[in-house]
Structure 1
């Protein structure tokens, strides 16, 4: 995929300043050299963020404090595209993005505003890479590791940040996390061309054909089970047809085919006549219908009378309960009269003989309440005689209605007994009609399950389709293509290693995509990258394999991986470590850089020579961006290597004027 970085653009928060533009050469090795804390290591996060990264990893404080938007101009086969993304502030990221497209972008807008979101940009990049819209599970909607390949997955091959470029345990960008490592394992056969979009389409077709085959086989099995049960019941149905007079009794036992033929004749007949008609039983049916109407009316009347009788009985019970309650209160209040009778003028309390107005008042209240209860009880509360007469009348009507209902039911049973034969004959006619209808449906099912059945033919067709697709997608074919691709990459890396600072340059290596590491095949044993010592070895193997991968990607007719690689601090393994940080270094951002020894200079220069030669061999097809402490004295005058103005003496990613103005 032709996609290279033409320039990086930073928009300041202060609108008085022009955007900061950092321009690169296409198809060459671009070196940004400079001192510490000048912003070199922010280049990879900026490019990654503008290409749709899920989180913003751009360093905080100075860079994010003074920049409002980050952008990159990429050169593609469709022309230039400016992709800019807003600084997310306190959020992990933002979807606010800006897109500008042109054949060649030379002028950068002074101020920009959102005109697209991150998801739309990622879809655009997916289309530019020509990525399949199918997933790795043979479907179209899977998520996680089996989800469809995306442009974001390809970042593993385009970035080598400072913590990865010479890491013995991690070979690819973000492969130190489980999620990215598993997805990288899944997409590796795809980027190697072992699994092509065409093969993925066939995998999708195979998955769909298998699913359809399973569904059709279940339908066929269910239908065959239904058919088997029907055939087991066939003889009983034929006997039933004989009983209904629809089929003649055979002179000898019939085969299954003969019984089916006879039953099909029954279904095909149009001269079926009923041996009994409704006219022969019309009188009995009319009388029975009249009795049913009378039964419903009497039942409704009886229900009404029973309800009224129940309410009247409830009223009588309520009156009796009320009288009982009054008698209970009267009995309890009789004590007040007894107490009053035992009081005299000398003492108010009949118990202790003391004088108290309170006791006298209480006795007066109780006596008054007793008189009220006695007066209430003295009133005639008896139920009037009219109520008793009405209760007696309703009781009699309930009895009469019950007798009428019983009489109607007796007449119905008698009529049903007399017309039983007619009813049986009528039922037999209806039964024959239902039997013919069910028989026709069953025979239709049998015909559909015959040897020329559409369902059987569909199952046969799907089985053949699955067999053909499986033959085209045999695992050994994919594995063979994968082995050929890895062999080509190993050969590419093997040709580069003798020109790098590696301990055993002639030992063959292999890229282990299951373990995402490198294996060095020695004369006595094979060693993984993590088992080999020395930072120079780690750097050399990283550089050789990443360059070999891009050489292979460019050899593919329509490879999806972008044609650029950014490396941060590849010379770090040669710089001496500061044992103790000096306080003055922390204050002085322009502290003197550590110096390389002559042999280290030669090793670093070898690495740049290899990168320059690979870039030239691709004839502009591959762009490299190197961020390093090493000055132009180390990598200058190498074919294919160009340098940007060095970031020293106040020159940084973020212009000092932006900070001074704050």
Structure 2
């Protein structure tokens, strides 16, 4: 069982200011009055307290003098009090509410006793629970890749008809004109009509998630499948490399994956678009490097030759000096005695007695022997040094020749590069192809090192197949079509009772176009094409009453209430602000609306409540007895009490 409204309460900005507008559940409640007395604010207060994400209360006295709003909701043996502050300061909306379970019949508490601590989302959940909505159900959002959890906010699509909606040919449901709302309404209608089996809804949601997981998995596995370079992007890059002369024409028309990757790496290693180019190095750079090496060797050879020549000159100088000294010592050969056998005390020349004469001869002879040895060594080194000098000079000449040849090669390469610069298109194309190849190879390398995605496609496909088999017997579409057919019969009956145009034809509720359609012999006629504000109002009321008859009879989790804001507006001129006096015909048509409301109320036997804010005030049994508030200028009555305004002025 869902709820109805027992009272709307407002709290003033001064202490003790409380104003409660009571309503009787299970019947018609009419609030009549002049313009700008706060009638339309009742609908916006109901919308605001039931979890609106915005602040729908319009600027005026209500905003100026009210600090908090409240609703008292009732259902059998239960009562729930909801209060919400008006936005304070620069805040666009208050995001916390006060929700109090109460004993039935408890009046609204004073403002100072209220604790605003329930966040808006939590408040919506509590209100949805109080309304009887199953928050575990998920229904697909039409036209959007997501699901919807039905809530109290969705139920209000079918409970409120604002002043600009109650006779609007283009908008059948509350807030239908806001962005995304039409698809949301289409998505939740099957649930509130009872066409959605909760268990099947869970399965459909599970199926949707599995299909999404399968799509994500296939997207993740697609790159690894596309890594076969024999087809697709890699093969196209290979063809481009051949056309750009980065590779020789292919001999194998169907290369393997590894072969194609190898060829792409080979194409990437080329530095100029020439099929004859085998080296990955820049030829000019290599020649310059070689020239630097030759120059270094040339310098080293010249230094070595200079060292050898200096050594040869030193040997020559030593030989000259040693030869002269040797010539002086050779005179010892004139001595007649043998130093080893002659007496040591006799002179070897004159045989006179001389102390240590033999020792001197011995020392001179030894020095001559050493000098002869040195001259022999140096004499043997000189030819070797001369040979080394000759070899190094030959090497130096070879280096000079190599430098000359290197310079010639540099000149030729430089000339060739100038020629290439005259044809930049091929070079640019080759560079662009190499850039794409580099990006592809880098990407494939990245994919190769990333964690491999487990291939669960077969498992997911099997789970999807199992769910599809379970859902194959689901008749939600058939149930929805059947329910809509029955509701459409109710709308047709009410349209005929209201004597609306085209009511002689079957009238149906189209949940795809969110309107009512008359099925005429010459084709369907939607509400926007029917013309006449009376028709628009009548079909709105007929559709809303028929839906609520269905909701109540089938215990749907929709608040058993309908709020209509000024249905009589279609019978008054747009600029009417004076006393609400209707002509006889218009009065009769407006009474027909209220008689249709009473018929539904009697049918539902107290389980349905209608609140009407009305400009007119009819003296008729179907209207007068149900007026609960009269807010007129002549009686100084309004939603905001006059003394609140006077106190503020004082």
Q: Structure 2 residue aligned with 1:523, among 495, 517, 521? A: 521
**Tell me, what secondary structure is at the counterpart of 1:56?**
coil
TM-score, reference length from structure 2: 0.59
Match of 2:609 in 1: 623
CA distance in 1, matches of 2:215, 2:534: 56
Cα 1:637/1:150, change in 2 over 3 Å: closer
Match of 1:656 in 2: 642
Q: CA RMSD in A?
A: 3.2
Say if 2:79 is the partner of 1:95: no
Q: Is the 8 A contact 2:133 2:150 kept in 1?
A: no
**Tell me, what secondary structure is at the counterpart of 1:633?**
coil
CA distance in 1, matches of 2:14, 2:219: 69
Q: Is the 8 A contact 2:34 2:579 kept in 1?
A: yes
**Tell me, what secondary structure is at the counterpart of 1:646?**
strand
Match of 2:4 in 1: 4
CA distance in 2, matches of 1:16, 1:218: 64
Match of 2:67 in 1: 68
Match of 2:572 in 1: 575
Shift of 1:518: 1.1
CA distance in 2, matches of 1:469, 1:145: 19
Q: Summarize the alignment of residues 81-120 of structure 1 with structure 2, pairs less than 5 Å apart.
A: 81-89=80-88, 90-111=90-111, 112-120=114-122
**Tell me, what secondary structure is at the counterpart of 1:59?**
coil
Cα 1:161/1:213, change in 2 over 3 Å: closer
Cα 1:207/1:504, change in 2 over 3 Å: closer
Shift of 1:477: 2.5
**Tell me, what secondary structure is at the counterpart of 1:645?**
strand
Cα 1:217/1:541, change in 2 over 3 Å: closer
Match of 1:154 in 2: 155
Deviations 1:57-112 (A, max 9, x none): 11223111111110000013561111010011343211131111123142222223
Shift of 1:556: 2.0
The structure with the larger Rg is: 2
Q: Summarize the alignment of residues 509-658 of structure 1 with structure 2, pairs less than 5 Å apart.
A: 509-557=507-555, 559-578=556-575, 592-634=578-620, 636=622, 642-648=626-632, 649-658=635-644
CA distance in 1, matches of 2:198, 2:535: 37
Shift of 1:114: 1.4
CA distance in 1, matches of 2:558, 2:574: 35
Shift of 1:566: 0.2
Deviations 1:123-145 (A, max 9, x none): 1122233233353359xxx9986
Cα 1:211/1:52, change in 2 over 3 Å: closer
> Unmatched 5+ residue regions in structure 2?
224-453
CA distance in 2, matches of 1:474, 1:642: 51
Deviations 1:153-182 (A, max 9, x none): 221101001101001111111111232112
CA distance in 2, matches of 1:494, 1:96: 44
Q: Summarize the alignment of residues 324-343 of structure 1 with structure 2, pairs less than 5 Å apart.
A: none
Cα 1:464/1:600, change in 2 over 3 Å: same
Q: How many corresponding residue pairs?
A: 414
Q: Is the 8 A contact 1:145 1:183 kept in 2?
A: no
Cα 1:597/1:215, change in 2 over 3 Å: closer
Cα 1:219/1:68, change in 2 over 3 Å: closer
Deviations 1:11-31 (A, max 9, x none): 1111143x1011111111111
Q: Summarize the alignment of residues 447-458 of structure 1 with structure 2, pairs less than 5 Å apart.
A: none
Cα 1:617/1:170, change in 2 over 3 Å: same
CA distance in 2, matches of 1:145, 1:462: 19
Match of 1:132 in 2: 135
